[in-house]
Amino acid sequence: MSEGREEGGDDGVLARLRALEFRTPLDALRAWLRDAHRLRLGPTETVERLLEMERRTREANNLSRRTHLAMIGTPKALDRFDWSHPRSIDRGLYDSLLGMDFLRAGENVLLRGPSGVGKTTLAQHLGLAALARGHTVHFATLSTAMADLLKQESVPATERRLKRYLTPDLLVIDEIGYLPCETRAADLLYTIVSRRHERRSTVVSTNLGYKQWLTIFPSAACVGALVDRFAQHCHTLDIDADSWRKKEKRTVDP
């Protein structure tokens, strides 16, 4: 077969693969065909390489889609987190949490410390670790989640929207304690935590101890029950540190 006819045949193969909705990029498919010709691969090995490429591509696309839907954002790389900055932090506990045993057991995680010490970054990476293992994740600040739920105009609409927070394998609620919330918001948060209790895991980041949660929901009667449900099966990572943002500002403006 001439080189021109071979290239034409390859293009036909590529076109048929695209028609079958193969997701592997064309450049990668062309490289696969070139290697098959150059290495004189047998039919079984040729097909095995094709299927493995397609599997990896689909897994990567699926992860990208689920990461986008999870609304985690793009955190600073975990290998850039300065574990020597905090005066006290249990790195061993955090490393074990990345293994996701707590998620499989339906347990919760509390990341607690002052503003600007990396709680959000650590929470985001727990979400990314869960996604990488095939779990569903949703990430939201408390204020964003409550605004989303409170704007619903009927009980049925609220119930439908609650599914966004009830169904993920892992729910991350960031920044509890920075803004006060109305009583109805406390009731909604209690609903989320209680319905997920012992079934699905929730990660919370906060700058407050449990006793101070009453300051977030000053008129709510359910705060005690909310804390009891969340804390019953909970891993607590306390971070004792000064704010990274203040430290960086002092470095820029001494």
pLDDT at site 66: 87
* d(C-alpha 96, C-alpha 102), whole Å: 9
pLDDT at site 156: 97
Spell out, as residue ranges, where the chain has pLDDT lower than 70.
Answer: 1-8, 245-254
pLDDT at site 245: 63
In tens, the pLDDT along 121-143 reads 999 999 999 999 999 999 999 99
Q: Domain residues of the chain, as ranges?
A: 3-69, 78-252
pLDDT at site 3: 42
pLDDT at site 248: 55
pTM higher than the cut 0.85? no
pLDDT at site 191: 97
pLDDT at site 145: 97
Please give the CATH topology (third level) of the domain spanning 78-252. Answer: Rossmann fold (3.40.50)
